[in-house]
Amino acid sequence: MHEDQLVGTAYEEGKTSWAPGSFFYMRGRACELVLFWDNIDREDVWRVTNGKVSFGVWYSDDKDLFFLYRFDGCHWSDAVFSALQLPESERMRPPFMRPGEKLTCRITLVSCETGLIQAVRTLSFSHPLSKKLCLAVDKHFYSSYSRFWTPESFELRVNKIYQQYPLPEALINCQGCILCTGQDTH
């Protein structure tokens, strides 16, 4: 997690270009959504820093997590996550969510062309989404999941889901998906 990074600074020192994409990470209570967008304009920056943001969490029968998000005026997008993608030193079980507790998520928008951070925002999830997210990620630590996990098998499972649900909009209608609107933290 890059909590000390500010708008206008490099996301990663010395790296000036990135492939477009989005990545969701969860380490314990710390959630981060990193967006690598190309051709970022003022409207994109405004959407990320001020616009309404919706989130969703769905996990497959194989327990792979699909983190869904949508900024006002945009289509739903997703970022697939498994705690086992992280280096072992960064894998931390999520907390048990007590009634009313909420997780926060730091959103970082990075220019693909320059590698510079264009926007940063921290939002909270609803309690039900926070709880579902913690329960989903906790399953990554069970031996029934971790014993057979490899990057290759993970990629095959994710591709199978994308064949069945080619657009993120289809995932929001799946049984078990939880949605919420992000709330600014103050």
74-87 pLDDT, tens digit per residue, is 999 999 999 999 99
pLDDT < 50 stretches in the chain: 1
What string of DSSP letters covers the chain? --TT--TTSBSSTT-----SEEEEEEETTEEEEEEEESS--HHHHHHHHHS-EEEEEEE-TT--EEEEEEETTS--EEEEE-GGGS-GGG--PPPPPPTT---EEEEEEEETTT-BEEEEEEEEPPHHHHHHHHHHHHGGGSHHHHTT--HHHHHHHHHHHHHH--SHHHHTTSTT-EEEE-EE--
Specify the pLDDT at position 157. Answer: 96
What pLDDT is stored for residue 82 in this prediction? 97
- What does the pLDDT read at residue 185? 76
0.85 exceeded by pTM:
yes
